[in-house]
Amino acid sequence: MESEPILVVENIKKAFGPRVILKGVSMAIRRGELKVLIGPSGAGKSTFLQCINFLVTPDAGEIRLEGRPIHHSRKRELYAYRQQVGMIFQDFNLFDHLTALDNVMIGLVRVKGMDRKSARERAMAEIERVGLKEHAGHYPAQLSGGQKQRISIARALAMDPKVMLLDEPTSALDPELIGEVLAVIRDLVANGMTMVMATHQIGFSRAMANEIIFMEDGLIVEQGPPSVILSDARCERTKEFCSKITELYGEAS
Amino acid sequence: MDELLFLQDEVVPALLKGLRVSILLIVPSAFFGLFIGILVGALRVYGSRPVVFAADIYVTLFRGIPLVVQLFIWYFGLPYLGIYLSPFTASIVGFSLCSGAYHSEYIRGALKSIKRGQMLAAQALGFSKFQMVVSVILPQGLRRALPGCGNEIIYLIKYSSLAYMVTCIELTGEAKILASHSFKYTEVYLAAGGFYLGLVSIAGWILHRLERRVAIPGFEHHRG
Ligand SMILES: Nc1ncnc2c1ncn2[C@@H]1O[C@H](COP(=O)(O)OP(=O)(O)O)[C@@H](O)[C@H]1O
Ligand SMILES: [Mg+2]
């Protein structure tokens, strides 16, 4: 039961100029787990997630995937590592000049060196998985926000990641579109994907997360199972924050 | 009647001959210029510090020095270093380098306008920086640079008329010779002007078609 963690993040520190954003953040996640990051805006959640795949270079700390430390200064090793860590952004970041299908295919062709025919088949399979088969030929500007986010999830899944990082995947969406994206993520959890997700969807987190991590000011204030963090937190700040987002984002998921 | 005969028998044949040379100058210069512009533009945005510095110097020099002077240097100056270029080659070298400097400016601006998220997404997928620039940034940046670069090509068509200054006899060169022999300056230069207008119109039409063709669906009205 207590298997080795697949991803270990140890004591990550990051400052932008004089401003210290992360003051030593650690996390270990086991295969198939979902960890939810919550915390006020500016707490450093995005920076932390981007440090995990070195989109932001941490000043200190270590990251190990399946026990192997990652040397981010070795370009090849870095690119190979990033293929194994999928990332979903708040504002989707689909490639604007490519159709949905090409968005999902491009990594397979350019990074994995797959031939176009197999890449197309794989990409279509992922697009079907997120329920957007009919939209494969559409460009991002022709898709709704929810559809864009689902395509971006398909794009990440096509690379066969071992871990996925999701940075507020539903925050840029109109309320009526949040459900379709959460449904896809729920499906990933059911299929055993390992994920770290920053979100304020409290109902979803309560139902799906193995652990909720409350971050503030570049530090983890408290972490634990949703039942504890959301209803019975030890720390006053955690309680305060949780009641605020519960009020704001409701119990519905 | 006399005028018409002169036009038919002398002006048109001479100018057609010049036109051929002009086109032979313009097409490769546009091509090389654009190539240099893309390369230098990308290096100015994504290169290391010394590379950016070198590229900036290139642009400053070639935008700052009048094109005629540049042509004189290529044609009359290089022989001092033992390098002899034909008038035709010197013109193409001069036009390409000058055009490339201007193109690089449009391309640099366009590349910088691509949202950071596009780069983050590419990097997160495991793209190397080079792959990212080639398959994500340039395809978007070049579309945005197209109106500016198209404009530069239109300019090139017109400043190609400077080639006659280094004795490469193209459209303007032929017109000048004919005019000074016949003393019919107005007629000859008006006709030459008409030829340039034709060239520019054709180029404008092609560029416009190209712009429509590569437009990204849903982005036609430029939503940024
Ligand atoms: N590239 C950067 N340069 C300077 N400051 C940054 C940069 N990225 C983020 N920050 C700052 O770091 C702080 C934490 O940001 P972020 O990680 O986005 O927090 P969160 O996602 O929790 O809202 C913010 O105050 C933000 O202004
Ligand atoms: Mg954030």
Per residue in A181-234, pLDDT (tens digit) is 999 999 999 999 999 999 999 999 999 999 999 999 999 999 999 988 888 878
Size of the A and B interface in Cβ pairs below 8 Å: 77
Per residue in B22-74, pLDDT (tens digit) is 999 999 999 999 999 999 999 999 999 999 999 999 999 999 999 999 999 99
Query: What is the model's pLDDT at position B224?
Result: 43
| Listed residue (B46, B44, B219) closest to B143, CA to CA | B219
Q: Residue A23 CA: which ligand is closest?
A: 1
Tell me which chain B residues have a C-beta less than 8 angstroms from the C-beta of A50: 120
- Cα angle, residue B141 at apex, residues A88 and B210 outer, rounded to 5°: 125
Rounded Cα–Cα distance for residues A230 and A226 (Å): 6
Mean of pLDDT values over B114-141: 95
Residue B118 reports pLDDT greater than 80: yes
DSSP helix/strand/coil, A136: coil
* A97 beta partners: none
Instruction: Please check whether residue A89 touches B, CB under 8 A.
Output: yes
Query: What is the model's pLDDT at position A235?
Result: 82
Pocket test for ligand 1, best of A16, A37, A221 (most atoms within 8 A of CB): A16
Site of tokens 């239109």: B154
**Ligand 1 touching residue A129 (CB < 6 A):** no
A107 vs B120, B126, B217: nearest CB: B126
Instruction: Please check whether residue A164 touches B, CB under 8 A.
Output: no
**Ligand 1 touching residue A18 (CB < 6 A):** no
**Ligand 1 touching residue A201 (CB < 6 A):** no
Average pLDDT for chain B: 93
DSSP helix/strand/coil, B127: coil
Residue nearest to atom 18 of ligand 1 (CA): A46
Query: What is the model's pLDDT at position A250?
Result: 66
B126 vs A50, A79, A138: nearest CB: A79
For A196-224, give the DSSP string: EEE---HHHHHHH-SEEEEEETTEEEEEE
Query: What is the model's pLDDT at position A2?
Result: 56
**Ligand 1 touching residue A46 (CB < 6 A):** yes
Residue nearest to atom 27 of ligand 1 (CA): A42
Site of tokens 């690379």: A159
DSSP helix/strand/coil, A28: strand
| Residue A253: pLDDT band with limits 50, 70, 90 | very low
Query: What is the model's pLDDT at position B1?
Result: 59
Per residue in B185-224, pLDDT (tens digit) is 898 999 999 999 999 999 999 999 999 999 998 776 554 4
Within-domain flag for B221: no
Higher pLDDT, A244 or B177: B177
Does B125 contact A111 at a Cβ distance shorter than 8 Å? yes
A89 vs B121, B127, B131: nearest CB: B121
Residue nearest to atom 4 of ligand 1 (CA): A16
ipTM over 0.85: yes
Residue A239 reports pLDDT greater than 80: yes
Mean of pLDDT values over A148-171: 96
For the CA of A17, the nearest atom of ligand 1? 4
Parallel, antiparallel or unpaired: strands A68-69 and A60-65 = antiparallel
| Residue B2: pLDDT band with limits 50, 70, 90 | confident
For B70-110, give the DSSP string: HHHIIIIIGGGGT----HHHHHHHHHHHHHHHHHHHHHHHH
Residue A237 reports pLDDT greater than 90: no
**Ligand 1 touching residue A16 (CB < 6 A):** yes
Number of structural domains chain B divides into: 1
Tell me which chain A residues have a C-beta less than 8 angstroms from the C-beta of B217: 138-139, 141-142
**Ligand 1 touching residue A3 (CB < 6 A):** no
Instruction: Please check whether residue A113 touches B, CB under 8 A.
Output: no
Tell me which chain A residues have a C-beta less than 8 angstroms from the C-beta of B123: 55, 82
Rounded Cα–Cα distance for residues B126 and B106 (Å): 29
Query: Which domain covers residue B96, as residue numbers?
Result: 2-214
Q: Looking at residue B33, which CATH number applies to its domain?
A: 1.10.3720.10
The long-range contacts involving B63-72, CB below 8 angstroms and separated by at least 24 positions, are B63/B98, B63/B101, B63/B102, B63/B105, B67/B94, B67/B95, B67/B98, B67/B159, B67/B162, B68/B162, B68/B165, B70/B94, B70/B97, B70/B98, B71/B162, B71/B163, B71/B165, B71/B166, B72/B165, B72/B166
Average pLDDT for chain A: 93
Residue B115 reports pLDDT greater than 60: yes
Q: Which of A180-189, A235-244, B107-116 has the lowest mean pLDDT?
A: A235-244
- Backbone φ/ψ region at A89: left (φ over 0), alpha (ψ -120 to 50), beta: beta
Query: What is the model's pLDDT at position A81?
Result: 97
Query: What is the model's pLDDT at position A195?
Result: 97
Per residue in A46-92, pLDDT (tens digit) is 999 999 999 999 999 999 999 999 999 999 999 999 999 999 999 99
Distance from residue B144's CA to the centre of ligand 2 (Å) = 29
Does B216 contact A110 at a Cβ distance shorter than 8 Å? no
Mean of pLDDT values over B72-79: 94
Asked if B136 and B122 touch (Cβ cutoff 8 Å), the reply is: yes
**Ligand 1 touching residue A119 (CB < 6 A):** no
Parallel, antiparallel or unpaired: strands A163-167 and A85-88 = parallel
| Residue B3: pLDDT band with limits 50, 70, 90 | confident
Within-domain flag for B224: no
Q: Residue A21 CA: which ligand is closest?
A: 1
Within-domain flag for B39: yes
Rounded Cα–Cα distance for residues B113 and A142 (Å): 21
Mutation to test the A interface, candidates B118, B119, B125, most A Cβ within 10 Å: B125
Asked if B58 and B120 touch (Cβ cutoff 8 Å), the reply is: no
Query: What is the model's pLDDT at position B51?
Result: 96
Q: How close is the nearest chain A Cα to the Cα of B54, in Å? A: 25
Global pTM reads 0.88
Minimal Cα distance from A165: which residue of B?
Answer: B124
